[in-house]
Amino acid sequence: MDIDDLLTPDAVIARLKVGSKKQALQELAKKAAQITGLGERAIFDVLLERERLGTTGVGNGIAIPHGKLPELERIVGVFARLDRPIDFDAIDEHPVDLLFLLLAPESAGADHLKALARVSRLFRDRATCEKLRGTDRADALFAILTSQTVAPSA
């Protein structure tokens, strides 16, 4: 599974201006609703519910909020580069400035986990994160995200 299986150019937000985790999740839900045709509130509720289980702020300025929706037909991603880092209750207590939202059908099972693992591997590469932080153009961000070829972990 590649990032371009999850992400389309219109699902990249280059300079998201938010002041809180809740606001970031609302904006991601709004963008995901535009892409999927599903209700913004339903998406937001799923994301909030997941955050209550534990933060999706994985450290190093990165968060991967995710959830499952029964109405969804395929796994969908939304990427946002924040204008300014925000507190996201990340595991390393550092603010977050790179967000990758993943939404999956309830029936996705292993594919959802594979998509999460793929996004996680992408963000483990410091050079990729530096490139993402170094541009505020959506087309450049999409190119960086989709040009990374990361070998699957064994």
Contact 3, 78 (CB under 8 A): no
- Rounded Cα distance between 16 and 55, Å, is 20
Helix 40-53 vs helix 21-36: crossing angle, to nearest 10: 140
Question: Would you call 66 a catalytic residue per the annotation?
Answer: yes
What is the DSSP-derived secondary structure letter of residue 137? -
Active-site option among 31, 66, 112, 118? 66
Q: Is 59 left (phi over 0), alpha (psi -120 to 50) or beta?
A: left
Q: How many CB atoms lie within 10 A of CB 4?
A: 13
- The tokens of 2 are what? 């590649």
Active site residues: 66
